[in-house]
Chains A and B, each alone.
Chain A
Amino acid sequence: MAVIDSIDQIYASIAANEPLNRLWTGGSTGVAPTAGNSTSGYSQNLRHPSVWTMPSVGGGLTGMYATACNIWCPGGAYTAILALEYLLGTLTVSGNVFSSTGAVSMPTKPVKGSSIVTSSMLTFAVVTTALTATTPVLTTTYTDQDGNGSQSCVMTLPTNPVTNSAYRMQPHLAAGDTGVRAVSNISISTGSAGVIKIYGLLPIQEFSIDTTVNRHSNLQPLKQSRPQWLIEPAETLAMYFGEIATANNQHMVQLTGVAAS
């Protein structure tokens, strides 16, 4: 039985193992991301460069399920997603060089008693070093959610996107595809500088940031009707902001979770 199958299972895990309670911050990058358009994910997204790494767990335990998650931001009108993040591939624009160094395929995770091969629920092309490129066409070759390889995602990025700009790939996946398991190649049509990384995400929590006083959210993971992802030791959580036009993206995150066996 999984720890999140019942409230008593959660209390039993807390009593036996104690919860994780962490609070961390991400400083402002000071630059708003370059907005996407109809050929590059439609929205103005930012991947915050600071990430949090899941610590070790005790013997006989496999990881943690989040039970509470809060965010504090300066305010604005945008969304935020805290997600497990997996690097699927890297492109160095100069020389049009693809690299799988450090990349992984999407992981296997337990869901409702079964172990499943996941595909990305969200997939982003992230500019980790600013591009020098005029409306470059980015082509990603990937394995889809069902394991079909050699699928293509073609996007035309804006000219010279700044560092930390993130572009949703989902609208541009092959017809019928909903996610990505792995990336086998990335190429770009033009450009002289910059780096793009493809990240697959499994969301832990989504937040709505508003302009007045509710600059926070605590939509509890246990109330949401989607899979709860096991957060395993050494996995990383990253923060993605959606439709964020402001340059001030500093934030503070609370994560609370219970141990899973």
Chain B
Amino acid sequence: MALDTHNKILARWAAGFGALDIITGEQQASAALSLLGTGGLFGTLIAMQDMPGALPTGVTSFIPLSAHGALSTGGSILIARMTKFGELDISGASGTFTDSDAAPTLTELGVSRQTPLCPLIHVKNTINATPGSFTFTYTDQDGNTGNVSNSFTITASANTKLCQVPTLTSTSGDTGIIDITAASRTGGTTPTGVLEFWGMAPIGRMSLVGSTGVCGEYADFLLDQINLVKLGINEKIGFMLMIQPASFTGAFVGAIHMLGDE
């Protein structure tokens, strides 16, 4: 059996295999707007949602069908399946990199492969006033190992939740990352703080169209942005407010609707 028709999807929902998860997040202060200067598009990782640690009876995966939300500013939220490549504690002589996962092997257009992900740098622990710069070493979309990124200057006193998509393509032609295997820091004065390295596979976009008030709209993955992604246990969904407006502080309240695959 497979959910391969609209009627089957509706019937599955009617049979009680749907769920709604509330998503909340906030950014209390964003003194630094750009984490890496002009080195890529920046924003705020407004929320991260964990999939359950076990599958309910009769469910083989979780499929996001739609999401909605409201934010105290306008903007565009990228919703993505997240893989943590690792993190860099920037303190010490050159920082300490802790490795995590590589891009998962997934079926894509009938081919099982490690699907390249889009990198995201995220401030896990607040950055100090003179943090210096860093590079990371990655495996590109074609499996070429040992590629070293541009050197990125970390913005002073960057707050937690700030994030940035580092530019790869202007210099290398690379369009995705399979893994980040190392990272190190140079310069700075008694640097402190932790940067996380994530990989993003897109699920869709949520448009928040109010520039001063609170409003939002549905991100529909069933009939609008047609994209039925099957998520496993313990997977993470990130909500990134990308290209945030100046001096953003505020809260996000929303939800994501999930359907249990058969």
Instruction: Please tell me if the beta carbons of A27 and B168 are within 8 angstroms of each other in the complex.
Output: yes
Instruction: Please tell me if the beta carbons of B175 and A50 are within 8 angstroms of each other in the complex.
Output: yes
| Residues of B with C-beta under 8 A to A50 | 169-170, 173, 175
- B9 within 8 Å of A by Cβ? yes
- A16 within 8 Å of B by Cβ? yes
- A114 within 8 Å of B by Cβ? no
Chain B interface, number of residues (Cβ within 8 angstroms):
59
CA distance A15 to B6 in the complex (A): 12
Fill in one digit per residue for B115-128: 1 if any A CB lies within 8 Å of its CB, else 0.
Answer: 11110000000000
Interface residues of A in 18-71 (CB under 8 A from B): 18-29, 49-50, 52-53, 55-61, 64, 67-68, 70
Q: Which of A11, A12, A17 has the most CB of B within 10 A?
A: A11
CA distance A259 to B111 in the complex (A): 10
> Known contacts A68-B204, A72-B243, A213-B75: does B109 contact A25 (CB below 8 Å)?
no
Q: Which of A8, A25, A49 has the most CB of B within 10 A?
A: A25
| Residues of A with C-beta under 8 A to B106 | 18
Instruction: Please tell me if the beta carbons of B116 and A22 are within 8 angstroms of each other in the complex.
Output: yes
Q: Give the interface size class of chain A.
A: 35 or more
User: Whose C-beta in chain B lies nearest to the C-beta of A54?
Assistant: B109
| Residues of A with C-beta under 8 A to B41 | 25, 72-74, 250-252
User: Which residues of B line the A interface, CB within 8 A?
Assistant: 2-6, 9, 38-41, 73-76, 78, 80-81, 106-111, 113, 115-118, 165, 167-171, 173, 175-176, 200-205, 207-211, 223-230, 242-243, 245
In the complex, given contacts A23-B80, A68-B204, what are 19 additional A-B residue pairs having Cβ atoms less than 8 angstroms apart?
A10-B226, A11-B3, A14-B228, A17-B107, A17-B109, A22-B202, A23-B176, A27-B168, A52-B175, A58-B109, A64-B109, A67-B226, A70-B204, A75-B243, A212-B74, A216-B76, A216-B207, A218-B224, A254-B78
